[in-house]
């Protein structure tokens, strides 16, 4: 965003404020929800609440991953993604949750850089047996103000030339939608498997019933694992394509090696962890690197060159230094 340099600084601050508010074109709404279409009692409330809390945590993890992969330019996260299950300390409603984070974006005025904050506070409600994104409250804190502005709802109206706010809006909508879709698919399969088990239990002997139950559970686990692997493979593919753009054609210290630009990705589960391999196509031999994720929805963490890639000690040292510099995120914690 450009500011007229011959304006007094106070006027330019006001210009920034009104330009940003005009850019997002949002309609402020009061928080709250109308629990229309809510289902009835769903068994033990503590167990239900625990399951819903896990789902909110899964959505928050997916938002965190999406933010890391999004093109945010100079915008950066300064307060990481957090989530809270329950509307307040008084009610602890199992039908309401919030996911929040704060971004910083800089501006320059007379060659002096100033930092402004954008706080995102996403409100989710549990309706019709699924989490729905009801509202994303956005507030600004400009460098010359002591407090945040009033909150506006990022979802309320279409953005006009919204720039990074458009990225954030699409990120919120797509991430919650896709994560909830996985949750619903898993839940639907579990429901169908349970109904099938009840129907077959009536017609089989005790031994046959036990064997069938084991088989159904194995099938459920396989389908759940396949669905999760598919999601994690898509995410690693995005990471791999971005990483390939940072690699050159040749690597100093590895004679005859030439990267051709192709990328292949494979993912598998090892216990509760996800193990991924990214193959960068090259001649005369492909380069294979490893990634890992502690669980579904968590970020992929770069793990270095494949252990048995067939490289001699000198080439392996040169390759590792080259790849680590370009692929390893200094913020990686392995969590």
Per the listing, tokens 């270095």 go with: 304
Helices 45-69 and 206-244, packing angle to 10 deg: 20
Q: What are phi and psi of 292, to 5 degrees?
A: -145, 155
Assess contact for 115 and 97: CB atoms under 8 A. Answer: no
Going by C-alpha positions, the residue among 165, 135, 132, 119 that lies closest to residue 19 is 165
Which pLDDT score is estimated for 330? 67
Distances (CA, A) of 150 to 21, 118, 159, 296: 11, 12, 18, 36
List alpha helices for the chain, DSSP H. Answer: 9-24, 45-69, 164-201, 206-244, 313-327
**pLDDT tens digit string along 79-138?**
889 999 876 555 567 789 999 999 998 888 877 888 889 899 999 999 998 999 999 988
Which pLDDT score is estimated for 268? 93
Which pLDDT score is estimated for 218? 67
**Alpha-carbon gap, residue 40 to 115, rounded angstroms:** 48
CB atoms within 10 A of CB 29: 14
pLDDT of 169 over the 50 cut = yes
pLDDT of 29 over the 60 cut = no
Which pLDDT score is estimated for 113? 82
Give the mean pLDDT of the chain.
Answer: 80
Which pLDDT score is estimated for 211? 74
How is the chain split into domains, by residue range? Answer: 9-187, 188-238
- Give the list of residues 6+ apart from residue 76 with CB closer than 8 angstroms, or none: 103, 104, 105
Which pLDDT score is estimated for 55? 93
Which pLDDT score is estimated for 297? 84
Q: What are phi and psi of 73, to 5 degrees?
A: 60, -130
**Alpha-carbon gap, residue 75 to 268, rounded angstroms:** 33
Question: Which tokens is 274 given?
Answer: 């996800």
């Amino acid at each position: 965003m450009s500011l007229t340099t011959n304006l007094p600084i106070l006027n330019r601050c006001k210009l920034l404020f009104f330009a940003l508010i005009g850019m997002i074109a949002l309609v402020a709404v009061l928080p709250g929800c109308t629990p229309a279409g809510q289902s009835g009692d769903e068994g033990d409330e503590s167990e239900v609440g625990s399951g819903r809390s896990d789902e909110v945590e899964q959505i928050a993890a997916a938002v965190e991953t999406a933010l890391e992969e999004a093109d945010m330019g100079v915008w950066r996260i300064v307060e990481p993604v957090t989530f809270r299950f329950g509307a307040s300390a008084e009610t602890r409603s199992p039908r309401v949750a919030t996911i929040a984070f704060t971004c910083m974006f800089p501006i320059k005025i007379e060659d002096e850089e100033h930092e402004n904050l954008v706080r995102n506070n996403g409100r989710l409600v549990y309706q019709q047996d699924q989490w729905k994104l009801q509202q994303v409250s956005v507030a600004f804190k400009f460098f010359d103000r002591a407090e945040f502005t009033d909150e506006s709802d990022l979802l309320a109206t279409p953005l006009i030339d919204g720039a990074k706010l458009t990225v954030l809006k699409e990120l919120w909508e797509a991430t919650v939608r896709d994560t909830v879709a996985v949750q619903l698919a898993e839940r639907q399969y579990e429901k169908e498997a349970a109904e099938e088990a009840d129907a077959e239990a009536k017609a089989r002997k005790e031994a046959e019933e036990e064997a069938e139950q084991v088989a159904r559970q194995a099938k459920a686990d396989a389908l759940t694992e396949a669905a999760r692997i598919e999601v994690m493979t898509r995410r690693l593919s995005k990471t791999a394509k971005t990483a390939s753009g940072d690699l050159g054609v040749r690597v100093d210290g590895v004679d005859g090696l030439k990267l051709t630009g192709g990328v292949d990705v494979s993912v598998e589960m090892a216990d509760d962890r996800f193990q991924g391999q990214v193959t960068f196509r090259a001649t005369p031999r492909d380069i294979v690197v490893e990634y890992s994720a502690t669980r579904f929805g968590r970020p992929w963490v770069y793990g270095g060159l494949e252990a048995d890639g067939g490289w001699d000690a000198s080439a392996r040292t040169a390759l590792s230094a080259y790849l680590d510099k370009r692929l390893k995120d200094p913020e990686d914690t392995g969590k």
